[in-house]
Structure 1
Amino acid sequence: MTTKQYISALGLDVGRKRIGVAGCDRTGLIATGITTIERSSFNYDVEQFQNIVNERQVEILVIGLPYSMDGSLGFQARQVQKYATRLAQALNLPIEYVDERLTSFQAEQMLIAENRSPSRNKGLIDRKAASLILQQWLDARRVSTHSQAAAVEY
């Protein structure tokens, strides 16, 4: 018995000024940054996303949720949830959230390791953060799918 392993997901790092966007290969193994959307209006955002969704046949949005360090949902996390809900409804797609604490920091550290300036590459940081968010979701999904398959075998 085989279940469908392939999924086309978009990972989003939602910020006030920009949204980092990442996608995955059809095997659902590797997340890579696609683009950064400069926010201007909600309708503009939806238009940009609709093009990506159509082109990549996206089935789900994976949104990074910026929990506070104590694990609570602060103001920024609630803003992201509000935006994500509106976006998902406009695109008619389901959403899943991933704890994105420290992903932007990790993305900045990756740039520094590449001898690139974080202050001059904000869009790249957003894309890298989005790919970290999506990769985290893909890895967790693969582990749970593998666990379910192993349980079915016994």
Structure 2
Amino acid sequence: MKILGLDVGEKTIGVAISDEEGRWAFPLKTIIRQEGWRRDMAALRELIAAEKIGRIVVGMPLQLDGQKGVQAQKVEAFIAILRRNVRIPIEVLDERLTTVEAEKALRALETDPMRRKEVIDANAASLILQTYLDRRQNKQNEPFKPESPR
């Protein structure tokens, strides 16, 4: 099952996709946000159908202290609308500093600044999705721990 990762911003939505086995995340594209929600949701529904997506992971931009600020509230509103527009599970993952990490990685690769601006959001979405996939894989690999007798 493929999983979609989203980095939702005010002007763009970074999109990443997993492989069929759910092991690796790949930057896919950046959707330029439109006025209102209709076009954003249509673009995502089209992508979900075309790629046969089974789950979505949305990055939640919490503040460094873990509190929800204005941007997190906007992402929560986006998720509420997304839930009404798609019929697949949606999970949320703390995405503090993923855009900063994506920016550092692209600088390290000496990516042209204009190109960097085009791909930063999709790369941030890829980091969000890869974190989710790694955590999920680690949970599956944990040994069974029986409860201790009382």
Q: Do Structure 1 and Structure 2 share a fold, with TM-score over 0.5?
A: yes
Cα drift, residue 47 of structure 1: 1.2
Alignment CA distance shift 1:54-1:152 (3 Å): farther
Q: Distance in 1 between matches of 2:145 and 2:113?
A: 47
Correspondence for 2:131: 136
| Correspondence for 1:151 among 120, 144, 150 | 144
Alignment deviations for residues 84-117 of structure 1 (CA, whole Å, 9 cap, x no partner): 1211220122211111111000111111111124
Cα distance change, pair 87–151 in 1 and its aligned pair in 2 (3 A): same
- Residue segments in structure 2 that go unaligned for 5+ positions in a row: none
TM-score, length-normalised on structure 2? 0.90
Amino acid at match of 2:94: D
Report the RMSD for the aligned CA atoms in angstroms.
Answer: 1.6
Q: Is the 8 A contact 1:20 1:123 kept in 2?
A: no
| 1:4-153 matched pairs, under 5 angstroms | 7-40=1-34, 41-118=36-113, 120-147=115-142, 150-151=143-144
In the comparison of the two structures, how many residue pairs are matched?
Answer: 145
Alpha-carbon separation, structure 2, partners of 1:132 and 1:123: 16
Q: What percent identity do the matched residue pairs reach?
A: 38
Q: Which amino acid aligns with 2:46?
A: N
**Runs of 4+ off more than 6 Å:** none
